[in-house]
Chain A
């Protein structure tokens, strides 16, 4: 049976913006199609499970500090898993920790995994509000992604790292260059929560299909009744536009 294995990194620590909603959506959209689904929690000290998709969410500063060493220590294993075909989705704080470091407002520094060439430095104000972006994770398949952002960090991408998308309404990575998130190979990072996947079913399906590809080759996903998802997406898009 076709099945998807998702590893949820630090679900006890990094869950500030209802990150479990993202996992719930992946689970439901697999099960509705008869695709097996397993979410495996991975906390500090646990061995890194074999998975098709690694998910990491965001936490309060204190919670992120508690897992900093553990996550940084996993960088090589995560890199190996991604090179082996796994995908990674990182949201908010998890996105910042994809980079080299996060520098706080008082100059305090939190290390990241360096899986993606990016750095984040806190600004004087938080960038908060509804956000919408245009993205093209798969060439030729443009998507609009909607949600909410709430971050003090200003993220700058290294040369050669593409943003996940272009901001239509909202702040994005740093409020200046119009980019939001990062997309590097099989790694996707974004500030967009809400949670990210429920209102963006096309993005959820794209990640499911790509991650399934690691062990099951090309999988065609049956369409689902996404009327409510579509209405929620469109309403959020209109609200973001003001």
Chain B
């Protein structure tokens, strides 16, 4: 046994111990331990992946995109993945520890951690979805992340592909020495009437002029151009057109790729999931070996990732889990919810722990107003339950049916007991973990590290 192998064995043992002692899923601790013992562990272990690896980052949708890409590539490819949102260096290292026989890595990576992880992995493809304002207290400003991403993409090896969202001006402006695949939406019917309030990137990343949008699809994503310096959305290599929203059931669209076209009925609602599907499809084109019919099939059979429109049955009620972590993502959830005209109950669980973002001011950038008149009863919970209720009050949501619960579990019970129709359970990251833990205790969902 080499010294390095011994360290790997020790770290793997820590994963088992962490799970048995209920300290968590063992999704980051073993990697942390290993990186402490062998700082170059990621470089050494990734060399064993014959097909190299794909890294995926974005403010919104990286977990779903990674899961979709896996659905397109498996079982033909044997993948090494970090499945549980453990998306820092330690999570990637932990995943690599358990990747016997894998030939390709698919890793979702935190936006801030991406430059470091990418340098270590030397990925064959880097998939960049979008940059939205998210947890400024943790990450700093959007421009700063974009600048760090540009330094990272500029330093990618020549053989490494960049897969980027052409509809996001900040991401579309990134460049690399090698080949680039650009994805986006091209459909007039999917455009919004006007730019939403929470748009984060209205100004040209190159010259600061206000961007002009032929079409806006979501937040600041759309067909943009700059009247100042003439930059515009790059030509799309992979795109969706003829979009047909199917309410909460999903979206139908025509997928266009360099390998051919296909009709897709994506079983996840909302345009953001169309973007995730495009990112995954473009990444699959970059990896190669998958034809377009197989891609369409993979997308159509897709299950939701953790808390992203995950449907559950709790007792005799239908429930849907919705992870809300920043204004752009939450606005899309709210907009999709408002298209469901059935009576419904809503739980909003707002925590302000580090993983949620300690600064909760973002809830005022979410258009909860769209839900006014759309919900029967609303319960709030979490460390900022009262603040959340107050936000809804100013948004005209809930009226006298607005309740503040003392805990997330109590909030869940109040929401389940009220009214009729489906129960939407909206929560920030740690609130969603807590909610899932409660549901797991009640036998409703599996603990997160078991869900693949």
- Beyond A60-B142, A61-B141, A194-B359, whether A24 also contacts B387 by CB under 8 A is no
User: Interface of chain B, helix or strand or loop or mixed?
Assistant: helix
- Beyond A148-B359, A195-B361, whether A62 also contacts B203 by CB under 8 A is yes
A235 within 8 A of B: yes
Distance in angstroms between the alpha carbons of A239 and B354 in the assembled complex:
13
Whether B364 contacts A18 by the Cβ 8 Å rule is: yes
Q: Which residues of B contact A239 (CB under 8 A)?
A: 352, 383
In the complex, what residue of chain B is closest to A44 when comparing beta carbons?
Answer: B210
- Beyond A235-B387, A236-B387, whether A194 also contacts B358 by CB under 8 A is no
Whether B361 contacts A62 by the Cβ 8 Å rule is: no
Q: Which residues of B contact A28 (CB under 8 A)?
A: 394
Distance in angstroms between the alpha carbons of A74 and B266 in the assembled complex:
52
Whether A148 contacts B387 by the Cβ 8 Å rule is: no
B202 within 8 A of A: yes
Chain B min CB distance to A6 (Å)? 16
Whether A194 contacts B208 by the Cβ 8 Å rule is: no
Stretch touching chain B among A116-124, A159-167, A225-233: A225-233
Interface 1/0s, chain A 197-240, versus B by CB < 8 A? Answer: 01100000000000000000000000000001101101110010
Q: Which residues of A contact B360 (CB under 8 A)?
A: 148, 194
Whether B390 contacts A199 by the Cβ 8 Å rule is: yes
Interface 1/0s, chain B 377-407, versus A by CB < 8 A? Answer: 0000001111101110110000000101000
Distance in angstroms between the alpha carbons of A28 and B143 in the assembled complex:
34
Whether A228 contacts B404 by the Cβ 8 Å rule is: yes
A150 within 8 A of B: yes
Whether B390 contacts A229 by the Cβ 8 Å rule is: yes
Q: Which residues of A contact B452 (CB under 8 A)?
A: none
Which residues 66-120 in B have Cβ within 8 Å of A in the complex? none
B32 within 8 A of A: no
B188 within 8 A of A: no
A80 within 8 A of B: no
Q: Which residues of B contact A25 (CB under 8 A)?
A: 394
In the complex, what residue of chain B is closest to A194 when comparing beta carbons?
Answer: B361
Chain B min CB distance to A39 (Å)? 13
Interface 1/0s, chain B 250-262, versus A by CB < 8 A? Answer: 0000000000000
Chain A min CB distance to B418 (Å)? 18
A134 within 8 A of B: no
Distance in angstroms between the alpha carbons of A24 and B361 in the assembled complex:
13
- Beyond A62-B143, A129-B358, A235-B384, whether A18 also contacts B363 by CB under 8 A is yes
Distance in angstroms between the alpha carbons of A229 and B404 in the assembled complex:
12
A55 within 8 A of B: no
Whether A198 contacts B383 by the Cβ 8 Å rule is: no
A169 within 8 A of B: no
In the complex, what residue of chain A is closest to B366 when comparing beta carbons?
Answer: A18
B386 CB contact (under 8 Å) in A65, A130, A150, A228: A228
Measuring CB to CB, which residues of chain A are less than 8 angstroms from any residue of chain B? Answer: 12, 16-18, 20-21, 24-25, 28, 60-63, 65-66, 126, 128-130, 148, 150, 193-195, 198-199, 228-229, 231-232, 234-236, 239
* The 3 nearest A-B residue pairs measured at CB: A21-B364, A18-B364, A231-B386
